[in-house]
Amino acid sequence: MEAFTRFTNQTQGRDRLFRATQYTCMLLRYLLEPKADKEKVVMKLKKLESSVSTGRKWFRLGNVVHAVQATQQSIHATDPVPRFCLTLANLNRVVYFICDTVLWARSVGLASGINKEKWRTWAARYYYYSLLLSLLRDLYEISLQMERAAQDKAKRDKSLSQDPLGHSVADEETEWLQSFLLLLFRSLRQHPPLLLDTVKNLCDILNPSGPVGHL
């Protein structure tokens, strides 16, 4: 419970909680819309989704500062691949949050003279670049964890290793695929934050109603 409280007290934690609620409403609405007797539930889900979306916009007003701080921290990463990916991803997030703030200012009438479509396209582009770079970093981390898991397995099986006879090429390919999937499963199971971050980035990239859908 303390960990959950610390998570929700953070701006990014609240945004992720609201985003999960928003996506859940979208999924439930999609499943219930074809049913004729669920109109009231669908309308309530739409209102809740709209309210959550508005709340996320308020929380995102302070995310420019968090993105700048994250950029400063990622510059000092020891591994060059995460340093490159995270630094560029955070820089793109800074630009995205600036564009998002401008769009919010226009929606409340503070900057009615700006070109909404142009700023929305810019926001979607930089958001997409940020997600893509973050996903590349996740894939790199997954490959590292799989390599470590493979090395550990090789050490354990070293004393029992034998060259089996009579294996065909198809058998070897099947065995390789099974080993790869098993290593992937074990690596993700042992690192839940990495799994969640990868799934989140994939869902954001594939979400047609999100910023990327405006590209």
**What's the pLDDT at 112?**
75
**Contact residues for 142 (Cβ-Cβ < 8 A; gap 6+):** 184, 187, 188, 194, 198
Query: Distance between terminal CA atoms of the chain?
Result: 39
**What's the pLDDT at 7?**
44
Which of the residue ranges 24-33, 73-82, 128-137, 142-151 has the most confident prediction, judged by mean pLDDT? 128-137
- Give the span between the Cα atoms of 49 and 95, in whole angstroms: 26
Structure tokens belonging to residue 36: 């004729």
Of 164 and 193, the structure prediction assigns the larger pLDDT to 193
**What's the pLDDT at 51?**
79
Q: From 195, 78, 75, 76, select the one nearest 141 (Cα to Cα).
A: 195
Q: Is 181 exposed, middle or buried (0-12, 13-18, 19+ CB in 10 A)?
A: exposed
Structure tokens belonging to residue 108: 């409340």
Cα dist from 121 to 88, 99, 107, 130, 168, whole Å = 19, 9, 16, 14, 53
CA dihedral (117, 122, 127, 128) in degrees, to 10, reads: 90
**What's the pLDDT at 5?**
43
**What's the pLDDT at 133?**
92
Which of the residue ranges 15-19, 57-61, 123-127, 176-180 has the most confident prediction, judged by mean pLDDT? 123-127
Task: Express each pLDDT in 162-180 by its tens digit.
Answer: 555 455 555 555 666 677 7
Task: Express each pLDDT in 66-119 by its tens digit.
Answer: 778 888 888 888 888 888 988 999 899 889 888 888 887 777 677 777 888 888
**What's the pLDDT at 104?**
76
Of 84 and 207, the structure prediction assigns the larger pLDDT to 84
- Give the span between the Cα atoms of 17 and 49, in whole angstroms: 13
**What's the pLDDT at 136?**
92
Q: From 114, 180, 172, select the one nearest 147 (Cα to Cα).
A: 180
Of 124 and 169, the structure prediction assigns the larger pLDDT to 124
1 — pLDDT class (breaks 50, 70, 90)? very low
Task: Express each pLDDT in 2-19 by its tens digit.
Answer: 554 454 445 566 667 777
- Give the span between the Cα atoms of 90 and 106, in whole angstroms: 24
In SS3 terms, 36-49 reads as: HHHHHHHHHHHHHH
23-27 own/partner pairs: CB under 8 Å, 24+ apart: 23/203, 23/207, 25/49, 25/52, 26/209
Q: Which whole number is the average pLDDT over 178-190?
A: 76
* DSSP category for residue 159: G
Q: Which whole number is the average pLDDT over 15-40?
A: 81
**What's the pLDDT at 92?**
92
The 10 Å Cβ neighbour count of residue 63 is 20
